[in-house]
Homo-oligomer: A and B are copies of this chain.
Amino acid sequence: MAEEQDPGPVPSAAEIAAAWQRERPGTPTASIEVVTPIWRLAKLFADDRARVLRGAGIDAATLDLLSVVRRSGPPYALSTRQLAHRTLVTAGAISQRVARAEREGLVRRTPGTGRRSVLVELTEEGHALIERSVDAVLGREATLVAGLSPQERTLLIGLLDTLLTDVRRRVSAPPGPTAPGSRTGP
């Protein structure tokens, strides 16, 4: 072996807050222990999902697209606008996602009835692919969160819901999509 290898564990949220207090007493670190674990969990879930999907021949963006259409029920068709709204990305991103999925034969664009809107609808192949993928992804995620007891689970869901409602209300700016990537926080 060469030399200094293991950089040790990634500092916990509590350690990050403590470091700021040590370096800059008075820094408002109250939010760190809430926000940081949420980011890290989101990243762990996203990374793990990407790994699971890689084997299934589909990526997370396409899974999102097909999922939303599939669970909207028959006739398995939504407008671009609805897709953008429900997947929390911009209309431009949807346009590109649909183009990719269309190129792979997973969806079909049809003119919306009487409107100028465009309906995105599942092809036979797209329907089959999402049917195959959903159970794999959700089953895997179920095992990831299986460590929580039923009580803990219920409690956590309630608290997350409270926080989500609250943050949504306080974020004045349009809830549209903005920042990419994952962050580790200050």
A interface residue numbers (CB < 8 A to B):
3, 7, 10-11, 16, 19-20, 22-24, 27-35, 37-51, 60-61, 63-64, 67-68, 70-73, 81-82, 85-88, 115, 131, 134-135, 137-139, 141-145, 147-148, 152-153, 155-157, 159-164, 166-168, 170-171, 173, 175-186
Bound-complex Cα distance A69 to B120 (A): 47
Contact of B71 with A186 in the complex, beta carbons under 8 Å: yes
Of B49, B139, B144, the contact of A179 (CB 8 Å cutoff) = B49
Nearest residue (CB) in B for A84 is: B7
Of B41, B177, B180, B186, the contact of A167 (CB 8 Å cutoff) = B41
Q: Report, nearest first, the 9 A-B pairs whose CB atoms are least far apart.
A: A147-B166, A42-B42, A50-B179, A31-B141, A67-B186, A37-B160, A47-B178, A46-B179, A19-B71
Bound-complex Cα distance A103 to B53 (A): 38
Copies in the complex: 2
Contacts of A64 in B (CB 8 A): 183-186
Bound-complex Cα distance A167 to B161 (A): 20
For the complex formed, measure the closest distance between the CB of A146 and the CB atoms of chain B, giving whole angstroms.
8
For the complex formed, measure the closest distance between the CB of A50 and the CB atoms of chain B, giving whole angstroms.
4
Bound-complex Cα distance A81 to B4 (A): 10
Contacts of A178 in B (CB 8 A): 46-47, 50-51
For the complex formed, measure the closest distance between the CB of A151 and the CB atoms of chain B, giving whole angstroms.
10
A23-B71, A39-B45 known; A157 and B85 CB under 8 Å? no
Of B147, B162, B170, the contact of A144 (CB 8 Å cutoff) = B170
Contact of A60 with B179 in the complex, beta carbons under 8 Å: yes
Contact of B20 with A71 in the complex, beta carbons under 8 Å: yes
For the complex formed, measure the closest distance between the CB of A14 and the CB atoms of chain B, giving whole angstroms.
9
